[in-house]
Amino acid sequence: MREIKYMDAINEAMKEEMSRDETVYLIGEDVSQDIWGTSCDLFEMFGSERVRDTAISEAAIIGSAVGAAIAGYRPVVNTMFADFAMCGADELLHKAAKWRFTHGGKIRIPMVVRAPAGGYSRLGPEHSQCPESLFMRTPGLKIAMPSTPYDAKGLLKTAIRDNNPVIFLEHKNLMGHTGPVPEEEYLVPFGVADIKREGTDVTVVATGFMVSLAQEVAEVLQQDHDVSLEIVDPRTLEPLDLDTILASVRKTKHLVVVDEETSRCGPAAEIGMLVMENAFDYLDAPIKRVAAANYPIPGGYLEQFVLPQPQAMADAVAAVLGREKLDLQGKVVAKGAM
């Protein structure tokens, strides 16, 4: 199978869906260029009516998408940085998420907010966040977090066809990652987790960029310490495929949850609690989580002391297994560590 970059997989999804359905349009600041490289030829192909560069007006970008969606269009917003979506918080967390419900299910709001997320690029506290917990605590939204080019393309196509608002957290650090993507059309359904690596000793639930980091950690732990990790990637946090997570936990009896969001009230807290409520009797050890420390994400050198690091994942695995230390010896390095 051919291999393409994550950013090109996103571009293909956009092109295919914009060709398939003329109610789909892209809107945001400099979306005709997109600093993350996902737009390429979209403007040339679809023109300024369907690739709409706007003023720096996040509230109007997101709010107008809600209004157009109510009136039968399928807007795709790109916020450039997930952090910037906060400027449209009312539009996103109230209007997009709640208006269908508020109005008794009488309207549909089919829209996607692509929010390039994540740190490890030393861009400071307001350009580095993975704010999925904000969206998880907001019923009415769906949340996709692709970790591979395959998932990025398949999930984005599903997101655009979904009749609900979808937050699509494409990870900035993954844009240049390559992976197999079929030539022929496919969709990745929401609410279906993918086991990215099969294993027997510890279940590691990871999302987004954390999946690739966990895969590297798993490889070293297997080689150097004979520890077998099973990596479960939920792919969508809402809907969440709890069954696949529980099945894996019943098999391995140990759980580590890894995410890039701030630890306090993050997805790891929620997933850990769900497992405790539903599979406590299967666990041989308390659940551990690895997430960003409870600070703003510092710019520069200090970033590596706040964002989750590979050795912290190995330490969590050691803790649930009751092992002294599983030293990675620096063989896995997250981008951005110095």
Partner 1 sequence: MELSKELLIDLYTTMVRIRRCDEKVIECLFAGKLITFYHSCQGQEAPGTALGRSLRKDDYLYYNHRGHGLPKVLPKGMSPKTFIAEHYGRATGAAKGYAGFHNCDIEIGIPGMGGMVGGEATLAAGTALACKLRGKGQVTANMFGDGATGRGPFHEAMLMSATWKLPLIWCVENNRYQQWTCISLTHPKEDLADFAHGYGIPSAVVDGQDVIACYEALQPAIERARAGKGPTLLEFKTYRFRPHVEGFPDFSVQCEGGCRPEFEVEEWKKRDPIKLMEATLLEKGVLTEADIERIHREATEEMEEADRFSADSPWPDPKGLDQALYAD
Which residues here bind partner 1, judged by CB under 8 A? 25, 49, 54-55, 57, 59-60, 62-73, 75, 88, 90-91, 94-95, 99-110, 139-140, 142, 163-164
254 is catalytic: no
DSSP codes joined into one string, 106-163: -----EEEE--B--SS---TTSS---HHHHHTSBTBEEE---SHHHHHHHHHHHHHSS
Q: Closest approach of Cβ 243 to partner 1, in Å? A: 18
Whose structure tokens read 């003329």?
Answer: 22
* DSSP string of 296-314, one letter each residue: ---SGGGGGGTS--HHHHH
Separation between Cα atoms, residue 43 and residue 129, nearest integer Å: 28
Identify which of 147, 115, 130, 151 has the alpha carbon closest to the alpha carbon of residue 13.
Answer: 151
**Nearest CB to partner 1, comparing residues 60 and 283:** 60
Residue whose token pair is 């639930």: 205
Nearest Cα to Cα of residue 165 among 267, 92, 85: 92
Q: Name the residue with tokens 């861009």.
A: 123
Q: Which of 94, 103, 127, 171 is catalytic?
A: 127
The span from the CA of 281 to the CA of 49, in Å, is 56
Query: Based on CB atoms, which residue is closest to partner 1, 63 or 208?
Result: 63
DSSP 220-241: HHHHHH---EEEEE-SEEES--
Shortest CB 12 distance to partner 1, Å = 24
Beta strands (DSSP E) in 41-103 are 51-53, 74-78
Active site residues: 127
